[in-house]
A and B are shown apart, each in its own frame.
Chain A
Amino acid sequence: MSMDAVFIEGKRKYIFCSDEHGLRVLSSVFENVKKEKLAYEWYHFSAEKRECLEEFLSKQKMGTFLYVELPYSELHTVQMMAKRIGFSSDETQYFGYGEKWISIFCCRCHELNRAEEQQTGLTCHQCELKLEVSDHYSELYHAFLGYPATG
């Protein structure tokens, strides 16, 4: 994930996806797109409308470029969704803001726990099992799976 949004030339359409706070990084690229009179669409994101976003992205055609700026808590989900739909890394730029945290799914009680992005272990706040953060991401729970910590 790079820090600055970079304007990628030569696309037939640009999509900007963000919530009301996430306009900081994308605005310069957006100005560019407007100035060049290129086709674009803004998608105003809200967590409740995740399915709508999925439908919207699935309808896009080749030649579309996607810029996303969202809180870290949402960004990963959207990134996985876009990838599943078929947006490659050459057709997307993602920017996160706010607190960097991820969800951890407890393998014993199935509770979702919050953890910082770099965190490797935690204690489940419900059943108090010591968990190790795996790199298995569950699309279903939008969370990384937490396994019993060994040792």
Chain B
Amino acid sequence: MYIEPTLFVRVSSIEKITKQVKKFTLFPETGKELPRFSGGAHISTYLKIPSGLIVRQYSLVSHPDKRSNYEIAVRLSENSKGGSLHWHQGMKVGDRLQISYPKNHFSLSFKARHHVFYAAGIGITPFLSMMQDISTNRQTFELHYASKSEESCVFHSYIKKHYPNQSHFYFSDQHQRLQTTSLANHPIGTHVYFCGPEGFIEQFRTASIELGYPILSIHSERFSPPKPIVLKAFQVKIHNGITINVSKTETILEALHKHGIIAPYSCQIGRCGTCELPVLKGRVDHYDSFLSDEQKEANNCIIPCVSRAKSDKLVIEIK
């Protein structure tokens, strides 16, 4: 399987920060400094478990200038396919793993006059390093952070202590709701950033666009793949003749792997483009955030970790 260039690290500490979230500190095996990253950056982590290799993306929550170690926060998800489950139950201090170099699809805009962050739940993670970057640059920002309750609010006391004037919390158990109406109050020159569950991001994106925000002033980061609207089964024919069935519940990429077909991938959320494959026949239902609109229109390639078929059959090329 394809693996991008990586760094070897070991887990130096594990801290339970809420009922569902643990923070892991990773230090470089070589003892050399780790690369500096910019606010909003993430890493891919590669975990070897008996059933194979699990690749997951996590935002770096440590200070961007700190190079002796990296920190990530992992939430145990209810329907974990193994990633967060392994982090929570299998990982011990001293364990060794591979991580990618820091990558950033969610960086701060240089053009913004003011930054506003909207986070829901574990979606807070990329904003920690962004707030640290901004504080160093002396720019202005606000944080609007929704969580189920104060106890389950990740980094609550840290944020409250360091950014008392900029942060606003919304706890649903106290009937406080983070609403899109606050988007109407941001001064001209504001850039907005959304991170959280798919529905949350969509709701805020749509509301911003309806208010007339330029697309370039809206930024979002997803950690889960977008949910297709229509989920139907279809067939994928590989140009060498094999036909495989893709069920309603699996992705093309998963179906390919199940049949022992080697297909590279990394993020599995339609963002990095690693898994791109040429399409020879059939209509593609694009769900990725990697291909441009023109490329999607052209219908000659697919991001199989998230995209599906509109037609009953797709013919794709695998070398």
Question: When the two chains form their complex, are residues B214 and A61 in contact, meaning their CB atoms are under 8 A apart?
Answer: no
Contact of B214 among A12, A57, A58, A88 (CB under 8 A): A88
Contacts of B192 in A (CB 8 A): 62
B194 to chain A: closest CB distance in Å?
14
1/0 contact trace for B172-190 toward A, CB 8 Å?
0000000000011111111
Contact of B212 among A59, A65, A85, A87 (CB under 8 A): A65
Question: When the two chains form their complex, are residues B216 and A62 in contact, meaning their CB atoms are under 8 A apart?
Answer: no
Question: When the two chains form their complex, are residues A64 and B212 in contact, meaning their CB atoms are under 8 A apart?
Answer: yes
Contacts of A58 in B (CB 8 A): 187-188
Contact of A10 among B111, B184, B190, B209 (CB under 8 A): B209
B210 within 8 A of A: yes
Question: When the two chains form their complex, are residues A61 and B184 in contact, meaning their CB atoms are under 8 A apart?
Answer: yes
Contacts of B96 in A (CB 8 A): none
A60 within 8 A of B: yes
A65 to chain B: closest CB distance in Å?
7
Contact of A85 among B189, B211, B213, B214 (CB under 8 A): B189
Contacts of B214 in A (CB 8 A): 88, 90-91
Question: When the two chains form their complex, are residues A62 and B217 in contact, meaning their CB atoms are under 8 A apart?
Answer: yes
Question: When the two chains form their complex, are residues B213 and A62 in contact, meaning their CB atoms are under 8 A apart?
Answer: yes
Complex: A119 Cα to B265 Cα, angstroms: 56
Tally of chain B residues near chain A (CB < 8 A):
23
Q: Which residue of A lies closest to B185 (CB)?
A: A61
B105 within 8 A of A: no
Contacts of B86-130 to chain A: CB distance below 8 A? 111-114
Contact of B184 among A12, A59, A87, A90 (CB under 8 A): A12
Complex: A87 Cα to B113 Cα, angstroms: 9
Contacts of B208 in A (CB 8 A): 62
Tally of chain A residues near chain B (CB < 8 A):
19
Question: When the two chains form their complex, are residues B113 and A62 in contact, meaning their CB atoms are under 8 A apart?
Answer: no
Q: Which residue of B lies closest to A91 (CB)?
A: B214
Complex: A40 Cα to B210 Cα, angstroms: 17
Complex: A19 Cα to B210 Cα, angstroms: 31
1/0 contact trace for A1-26 toward B, CB 8 Å?
00000000011110000000000000
1/0 contact trace for B150-191 toward A, CB 8 Å?
000000000000000000000000000000000111111110
Contacts of A61 in B (CB 8 A): 184-188
Question: When the two chains form their complex, are residues A86 and B187 in contact, meaning their CB atoms are under 8 A apart?
Answer: yes
A63 within 8 A of B: yes
Question: When the two chains form their complex, are residues A11 and B212 in contact, meaning their CB atoms are under 8 A apart?
Answer: yes
Most A Cβ at <10 Å: residue of B186, B188, B190, B215: B188
Contacts of B199-224 to chain A: CB distance below 8 A? 208-217
Question: When the two chains form their complex, are residues A62 and B211 in contact, meaning their CB atoms are under 8 A apart?
Answer: yes
Q: Which residue of B lies closest to A57 (CB)?
A: B188
Question: When the two chains form their complex, are residues B188 and A64 in contact, meaning their CB atoms are under 8 A apart?
Answer: yes
Question: When the two chains form their complex, are residues B190 and A63 in contact, meaning their CB atoms are under 8 A apart?
Answer: no
Question: When the two chains form their complex, are residues A62 and B183 in contact, meaning their CB atoms are under 8 A apart?
Answer: yes
Contacts of A11 in B (CB 8 A): 212
Contact of A63 among B111, B114, B189, B211 (CB under 8 A): B211
Most B Cβ at <10 Å: residue of A60, A61, A62, A65: A62
Complex: A126 Cα to B44 Cα, angstroms: 65
1/0 contact trace for A45-80 toward B, CB 8 Å?
000000000000111111111000000000000000
Question: When the two chains form their complex, are residues B189 and A87 in contact, meaning their CB atoms are under 8 A apart?
Answer: yes
Most B Cβ at <10 Å: residue of A59, A64, A91: A91
Residues of A bordering B, CB below 8 Å: 10-13, 57-65, 85-88, 90-91
User: A12-B184, A58-B188, A86-B187 known; 19 other A-B pairs, CB under 8 Å?
Assistant: A10-B210, A60-B187, A60-B188, A61-B185, A61-B187, A61-B188, A62-B186, A62-B190, A62-B211, A62-B213, A63-B211, A64-B212, A65-B212, A85-B189, A88-B189, A88-B216, A90-B214, A90-B215, A90-B217
* For the complex of A and B, 8 pairs with smallest distance between CB atoms: A86-B189, A63-B212, A11-B212, A86-B113, A90-B214, A63-B211, A60-B188, A62-B186
Q: Can you list 15 residue pairs at the A/B interface with Cβ under 8 Å?
A: A10-B209, A12-B212, A60-B188, A61-B185, A62-B187, A62-B211, A64-B212, A86-B113, A86-B114, A86-B187, A87-B189, A88-B216, A88-B217, A90-B215, A90-B217
